[in-house]
Amino acid sequence: MDDQAALDPRQFRRVMGLFATGVTVVAAEADGDVRGMTANAVMSVSLDPLLVCVSIDRRAAINTVVERVGGFSLNILREEQEALSPYFAGLWKHPTPPEHRFQPWVGGPRLVGCLAAAGCRVHAILDGGDHRLFLGRVLALHQGEGPLSPLLFFGGRYHRLREPALAPRDPEEVWIPEDVRIFYGD
């Protein structure tokens, strides 16, 4: 029996929803029109070169926009920006959109007030089944002012950190390459 045939996509979503993530808005601008999409299937990929990856449904309008313009911004939402997540996911049920503003930026428009952002040029587009994986070469970085309070998503709901995050630690303080041992094979 093929194990894949027995797997249920809804159960897959529930299981993968138990992986806590941040919430981002991917944005691109074409012909003066800014398109945005909520994404939590996002990851950093490489430090040399600086690469990030975002997974975009093939049916999403922003899919073709990002490919055509060749760039995008990845905007990490703050907890007080929760309303932007359902808005950019196409789930907004109110007559007027939540307050937000984009400003021109490297790679794609940056969401004003976001916790942090990366401006990217499309480096590669990979097949990911019903999604496409956009690898973005990071051209610019932004860290917003104020408290470090990211919007989190877990188990189909939004969450917040119990304690405000302290200033990020320098990666050299946390991870010392000389102390890391990687074992391959047996």
Specify the pLDDT at position 1.
Answer: 40
Q: Is residue 144 part of a domain?
A: yes
pTM of the full structure:
0.85
Range of the domain at 163: 23-179
**Per-residue pLDDT averaged across 150-173, rounded?**
80
Q: Is residue 14 part of a domain?
A: no
Three-class secondary structure of residue 63 per DSSP: helix
Specify the pLDDT at position 173.
Answer: 64
Specify the pLDDT at position 161.
Answer: 86
The residue type at 138: V
Tens of pLDDT along 62-97?
999 999 999 999 999 999 999 999 999 999 999 999
Q: Is residue 3 part of a domain?
A: no
Q: What is the CATH number of the domain that holds 67?
A: 2.30.110.10
Phi-psi region of 165 (alpha: psi -120 to 50; beta: other; left: phi over 0): beta
Would you call the peptide bond into 147 cis, given omega within 30 degrees of 0 as the criterion? no
Q: Is residue 29 part of a domain?
A: yes
Q: Is residue 11 part of a domain?
A: no
Tens of pLDDT along 3-57?
566 888 899 888 888 888 999 999 999 999 999 999 999 999 999 999 999 999 9
| pLDDT(186) > 70 | no
Q: Is residue 167 part of a domain?
A: yes
> In the structure encoding, which two tokens stand for residue 4, read together?
């894949």
Which pairing describes strands 157-159 and 116-128: parallel, antiparallel, or unpaired? unpaired
> In the structure encoding, which two tokens stand for residue 149, read together?
């309070």
- Among the listed residues 63, 45, 47, the one whose alpha carbon sits nearest the alpha carbon of residue 55: 63
Number of domains in the chain: 1
Question: Which residue, chain included where needed, has tokens 């990071």?
Answer: 138
Does residue 126 contact residue 54 with C-beta atoms inside 8 Å?
no
Measure the CA–CA gap between 92 and 98, rounded to whole angstroms.
Answer: 9
Q: Is residue 17 part of a domain?
A: no
| pLDDT(132) > 80 | yes
Does residue 57 contact residue 51 with C-beta atoms inside 8 Å?
no
Q: Is residue 7 part of a domain?
A: no
